[in-house]
Amino acid sequence: HSYKAKGANQYASTCTRINKTDVIFTNNEGISRVNIATGAATFLTRYPNIGSKHIYNISLTRLHGSLFALSLNNELFAINATDGKILYRIVNQQNGPFVDPGYITNCRTDRYNHLWVISAAEGLKKIYLNSLGIKYYGFGKLPQNFNRCIYADKKANRVITGSLFNGFSVYDTTQHL
Number of neighbours of residue 137 by Cβ within 10 angstroms: 16
Closest C-alpha to 124, from 97, 105, 101, 111: 105
Measured distance CA(40)–CA(59) in Å, rounded: 23
Residue type for position 115: L
More confident residue, 2 or 104: 104
Query: 56-81: buried (b, 16+ CB within 10 Å) or exposed (e) per residue?
Result: ebbbbbbbeeeebbbbbbbbbbbbeb
Cβ contacts of 128 within 8 Å, gap of 6 or more: 114, 134, 135
Query: Does position 66 have pLDDT exceeding 70, yes or no?
Result: yes
pTM of the model: 0.70
Measured distance CA(15)–CA(12) in Å, rounded: 8
pLDDT band at 68 (very low <50, low <70, confident <90, very high): very high
pLDDT band at 139 (very low <50, low <70, confident <90, very high): low
Report pLDDT for 144: 57
Q: How far is residue 95 from each of residues 67, 75, 90, 137, measured CA to CA in Å? A: 21, 11, 9, 20
List residues bridging with 31 in a β-sheet: 26, 45
